[in-house]
Amino acid sequence: MNAGKAKKRVIIVGGGFGGLRVARGLAGVDDVEITLLDRRNHHLFQPLLYQVAMAGLSPAEIAVPIRTVFSRQSNCRVILETATGIDFANKKLKTAGLGELDYDWLVLACGSRHSYFGHIEWEDYAPGLKSLEEATEIRRRVLTAFELAEKETDPAKQRRLLTFVVIGGGPTGVELAGALGEISRFTLSRDFRRIDPERARVILIEAGPRILPTFAEKLSDKATRDLEQLGVTVWTNSMVTNVTGDGVVLGGESVHAATVLWAAGVAPPELNRGLGVELDRQGRVIVEKDCSIPGHRDVFVIGDQAHIEEEPGKPLPGLAPVAIQQGKHIARNIQLELKGKAREPFHYVDKGQMATIGRRRAIAQFAGMEIAGFFAWLAWLLVHVYYLIGFKNRLQVMWEWTWSYLKFRRGARLIVNKEWHAPLPAPAKPAEPPPAVESRPPPPAQAHA
Amino acid sequence: MNAGKAKKRVIIVGGGFGGLRVARGLAGVDDVEITLLDRRNHHLFQPLLYQVAMAGLSPAEIAVPIRTVFSRQSNCRVILETATGIDFANKKLKTAGLGELDYDWLVLACGSRHSYFGHIEWEDYAPGLKSLEEATEIRRRVLTAFELAEKETDPAKQRRLLTFVVIGGGPTGVELAGALGEISRFTLSRDFRRIDPERARVILIEAGPRILPTFAEKLSDKATRDLEQLGVTVWTNSMVTNVTGDGVVLGGESVHAATVLWAAGVAPPELNRGLGVELDRQGRVIVEKDCSIPGHRDVFVIGDQAHIEEEPGKPLPGLAPVAIQQGKHIARNIQLELKGKAREPFHYVDKGQMATIGRRRAIAQFAGMEIAGFFAWLAWLLVHVYYLIGFKNRLQVMWEWTWSYLKFRRGARLIVNKEWHAPLPAPAKPAEPPPAVESRPPPPAQAHA
């Protein structure tokens, strides 16, 4: 139909919730040619990543190859690639491996990474939860701690192995701590012969006055009580001052813990710094009402990577629904422009928020309602299963959960990826970070990690 | 019942098919105290490991924590540990982490590892398929090759990326090659925009005169034709003389291939060399009719690790049914001895053998029958699903296969574990092998492999 006309090029960086929605929103639009770049080959359903870390689900149950999502959308090409910068003047995206790519519209939807508040050296001892690799690494550490505790005869060392610290009392921290509480209470007693479940401790550390601060205070309190029933100790107003191979330090106090998990902060991608545009204090790109960068109408930034305000001084939170709505909105605006019409400003429709605590409790807050307990958990379950992309995954996850619910088992309790015999958080610090793009030799046989 | 009497200690090294059957065969026997050691926390259903490598199944679908298998068997303790040697005189097993353990009966069931026929340097370029780590590494290499080919504009480089060589024409090699043939024929055309499926090549290299040499010649021929229909080129009488980062060399000829997989040979575990007992030419422990080591009546060796002859000069093959039957037999003999009765010699009941070629063809040979084609495949499927340990896994694998059968999709096409951006088989050789037991620092953030 437009055979004679050159197609407009839409480049999307990032195959997360936001980026995916932009591309899907342009399905069937013949006038555009979409290129979706991601550093990874899969879209990840991040809200369930903690389940992979806690051995409840397998990676393939919450991730889908981006390529598969678009196998029938002929105007979208998917490439495994990293964006390194933007040449705004010439409308080119710079990439690590493919050189420069021309765009008519560019969408940055790169998400966020962990922030260790300037203490990047803590990362070795306290991994965070953003990728499948990190989730399986956390799973390896947790399961290995139990295995080593089973062999340990020194009570002090065993206690350290059975102490799990989660830093950060947001939804991810609460979900991790709740699952750890359940694992050490229920899984332990059945499968291990020598571990005394009474010795297992799960400590959730929050710097602020209460956990889940974005929820109503009543719900925070409820969540705290639920966690305590699962054996989790909640420490609020507690600032972690150091994380070492031995555990965590809070001012004068220290906790010996073999496993420390980080859920305390996120930061925007490195890319933002090099753009030469205005960032907020956290480093997010400050965007206009239509999600575009001021002065660069054709470059949009969405999701966790962007700072957008609906009310002055109140940026939208880093939640999946924000990125999803922004993605859909941008696809609509591009179609409006293709028809020569004016863009519309973005408005966020608050869908509420939820967090789950263990296997059958949750808190939820939406449409002015606040609910907690089993029905909140059921709502949490339905919403999450519903939004899992791909019919097959949904059924499989349901099945997995039903099974684990009935049997109190965990389906994916495999230690893989590292030498199992490596002692937990090894104290040595790597000499330097690995090169981000250059070739690295594969590890030798035994370490086929 | 025997409260006053000291229990007899049975130590089993290895939680594979053989070791598991020994321990399960002693379930409910109050007079024994079983300790099962394994270097890994899971039992692996090895016959389906190639499906994990080929992105058809997830690791958790073919592996189960050994601990879970024995959660209700109170006389069995499971430890994550490595055996390093035996003090026969004092009846002690030496371990890497727990010192020496006393035994009354000891069963070695350590399986086998890859043999590169003296060319251990080939392993970096041509990984084999024994563990989950290796399976996910192979999956990573295969999927990454397709991803890089999609970006590649140089036809020669693209052709190298789309060339897959499998070395070794036994069942594993045939299964890998068949699956690779299907992937490049069917998956490619739908999900990739720029790859020309005609460029993809899968080459199966066998040193002997025919593939699947343990099967009847007619079935070998059938398998060869089936493989060719899937686009696999079969080279027999072809001896690989070198494997490099560029591909494989066969005498004067060389094949440029980004992905080379090793399925050509196995060797017994390192442990055997240090035992000071008689080994066969391959390094397997030569055992008596009751599977015990000559002169060491209380130490049994079973499965791939042992050399046992039913007819003179004809050792039993390294198949799961051999290990399973030996394991059950030893559990029976131990019970006989507990009752003061004499041991019985082991006799192998040949259950036949099968190999599958792609998604719906197989060859099978049992009870004097030779079958091939769809019904052989159905038999293969039923036997494998039936023997998968654990009810849940069985249903899930059935579901997974039904889905992939109907949709021609692959469920676990995730690239994880390594930096996705590392070019395929990096040419650099690691300076030295990693220490086997000592602590190693965890890799820094980006490399959470």
The answer to whether residues A262 and A172 touch, using CB atoms and an 8 Å cutoff, is no
Provide the residue-wise pLDDT of chain B in tens; the chain has 449 residues: 445 578 999 999 999 999 999 999 999 999 999 999 999 999 998 888 998 999 888 888 888 889 888 988 999 999 999 999 999 999 999 999 999 999 999 999 999 999 999 999 999 999 999 999 999 999 999 999 999 999 999 999 999 999 999 999 999 999 999 999 988 887 666 788 888 776 789 999 999 999 999 999 999 999 999 999 999 999 999 999 999 999 999 988 999 999 999 999 889 999 999 999 999 999 999 999 999 999 999 999 999 999 999 889 899 999 999 999 999 999 999 999 999 999 999 999 998 899 999 878 899 998 888 999 888 888 887 888 777 655 555 666 666 666 655 555 555 677 765 432 222 333 333 333 333 333 333 333 333 32
> For the domain A8-39+81-112+268-338, what is the CATH superfamily, name and number?
FAD/NAD(P)-binding domain (3.50.50.60)
Q: Of the given ranges (A9-18, A81-90, B374-383, B402-411), which has the lowest mean pLDDT?
A: B402-411
Which of chain B's residues have a Cβ under 8 Å away from the Cβ of A413? 41-42, 65, 67-68
Among candidates A59, A80, A422 on the partner chain, residue whose Cβ is nearest the Cβ of B440:
A422
Asked if B120 has any chain A CB less than 8 Å from its own CB, the reply is yes
Task: Residue window 46-85, chain B: list those with CB within 8 Å of chain A.
Answer: 58-61, 63, 65, 67-68, 71, 77, 79-82
| Nearest CB neighbour to B132, from listed A98, A414, A447 | A414
- For residues B105 and B33, the answer to whether their CB atoms sit within 8 Å is no
CATH architecture of B120-266: 3-Layer(bba) Sandwich (3.50)
- Domain map of chain A by residue range? 8-39+81-112+268-338, 120-262+359-407
Q: Do B124 and A444 touch (CB under 8 A)?
A: yes
Highest mean pLDDT among A48-57, A273-282, A379-388, B349-358: A273-282
Residue A127 to residue B448, Cβ atoms within 8 A: yes
Least confident of A49-53, A374-378, B113-117, B230-234: A374-378
Q: Class assignment of domain A120-262+359-407? A: alpha beta
Model confidence pLDDT, tens digit, residues A211-269 = 999 999 999 999 999 999 999 999 999 999 999 999 999 988 999 999 999 999 889 99
pTM, whole model, 2 decimals? Answer: 0.84
Task: Answer yes or no: is pLDDT of A342 > 50.
Answer: yes
Residue A103's contacts (CB-CB under 8 Å, 6 or more residues apart) are A9, A10, A11, A91, A92, A93, A298
Top pLDDT among A360 and A286 is at A286
The answer to whether the CB atoms of B416 and A68 lie below 8 A apart is: no
Query: Do the first three CATH levels of A8-39+81-112+268-338 and A120-262+359-407 match, i.e. the same topology?
Result: yes
What are the chain A neighbours of B127 within 8 Å (beta carbons)?
448
Phi, psi at A247, each rounded to 5°: 155, -145
Q: Is A264 helix (H, G, I), strand (E, B) or coil?
A: coil
Catalytic residue status for B310 = no
B60 with A414: Cβ contact below 8 A: yes
What is the band of A393 on the pLDDT scale with cuts at 50, 70, 90? low
B296-301 vs B292-293, strand pairing mode? antiparallel
| B428 vs A: CB within 8 A | yes
Task: Show which of residues 210-229 on chain A sit within 8 Å of chain B, judged by CB atoms.
Answer: none
Distances (CA, A) of B298 to A423, B6, B103, B340: 33, 18, 9, 14
At residue A180, the pLDDT reads: 94
Q: Where are the beta strands (DSSP E) in B184-313?
A: 201-205, 232-235, 242-243, 247-250, 253-256, 259-262, 266-267, 285-286, 292-293, 296-301, 306-307, 309-311
CA distance B149 to B192: 10
Note the pLDDT of residue A223.
96
Report pLDDT for A345.
Answer: 96
Total beta-carbon pairs less than 8 A apart between chain A and chain B: 225
B-contacting residues in A 167-196 (Cβ below 8 Å): 190-194
* Contact predicate A177/A223, CB 8 Å: no
Is residue A405 over pLDDT 90? Answer: no
Determine the residue among A41, A142, A402 to mutate to test chain B binding: the one whose Cβ has the most chain B Cβ atoms within 10 Å. Answer: A41
ipTM: 0.79
Instruction: Give residues 382 to 401 of B whose Cβ lies within 8 Å of A.
Output: 392, 396, 399
Please give, one letter per residue, the 3-state secondary structure of A167-224: ECCCHHHHHHHHHHHHHHHHHHHHHCCCCCHHHCEEEEECCCCCCCCCCCHHHHHHHH
Q: Is B304 on the interface with A (CB under 8 A)?
A: no
Question: Looking at the partner chain, which of B79, B134, B403 has a beta carbon nearest the beta carbon of A151?
Answer: B79
Using the 8-state DSSP alphabet, how is residue B225 labeled?
H
The Cβ of residue A15 has, within 10 Å, a number of other Cβ atoms equal to 28
pLDDT of residue A154: 92
First-to-final CA distance of chain B:
51
User: Cβ atoms within 10 A of the Cβ of B2, count?
Assistant: 8
Nearest to B237, CA basis, from B260, B226, B253? B253
Cβ–Cβ gap B97/A403 under 8 Å? no
Helix or strand holding residue A145 (H, E): helix A132-151
Q: Which of A60, A191, A423 sits opposite B411 (nearest CB)?
A: A60
Contact A305, A315 (CB under 8 A): no
- State the Cα–Cα distance between residues A108 and A106, nearest whole angstrom: 7
List the catalytic residues of A: 175
Least Cα distance to B261 among B212, B223, B205 occurs for B205
